[in-house]
Amino acid sequence: MNLYADFLQNQMKVVHKWKHYFPVYERHFQNWVNKTVTVLEIGCGRGGSLQMWKRYFGPHATIVGIDIEPRCKNYEEDQISVRIGGQQDPAFLQSVLDEFGPPDIVIDDGSHVMSHIAATFRYLYLKLPKNGVYLVEDLHTAYWPEYEGGFAREGSFIEMAKCLIDELNADHTLGVVPVSEFSKTTTSMHFYDSMVVFERGVHTRKFAPMTGTDPV
């Protein structure tokens, strides 16, 4: 299924997404299509993206949306559940985990407020399974004051993600950056226009073999 083609042909609830997001979604989500997968979308909008994920991931997917707006409960249907609460509230997030289990994929399209994004990431990320994917979108707001952002502003999620690059490479910092659970369980970080994607995994022993034959 081509996700962007599905978006263009959508006749169901409204979906509002930047065009350049779609190749990113497919690049990082394609391995989960038609698998048993739990997808947590933070921010339900007008309900269309929940339906889009249901179509994309297929009949074995559980789609969970969270939002602060009670009207979003009306978006529930087969395979789609919605829970009402704040993304920055750890007790609420834990209640969602208790009910549905750890999500395989998180898509943060919620309040876009920097402190909310950071709080959600800190609470949820290490609870994802070892092959989980955590995607934060609309991070152009990290540069806008009304979302607690600003260029190089301490506390923005972009600045937080920049620091996590060092944590990803902690093994090579000669002890300057301690090796953390993030270091041990994150295999990659991907930066795009307005998006950051984190992929979890298990690190094998690091070594650098050499092959080939030197000319005589």
Q: Which residues are catalytic?
A: 112
Whether the CA torsion 137, 7, 23, 201 is positive or negative: it is positive
What count of residues does the chain have? 216
Q: Cβ neighbours of residue 31 under 8 Å, at least 6 residues apart? A: none
Q: How many of the other CB atoms lie within 10 Å of CB of 204?
A: 6
Provide DSSP, 120-171: HHHHHGGGS-TT-EEEE--GGGGG-GGGT--TT-TT-HHHHHHHHHHHHTGG
Distant-in-sequence, close-in-space partners of 142: CB < 8 Å, separation ≥ 6: 114, 149, 153, 156, 157, 158, 159
Strand spans (E) along 68-104: 80-84
- Output the six-digit token pair for 187: 């295999």
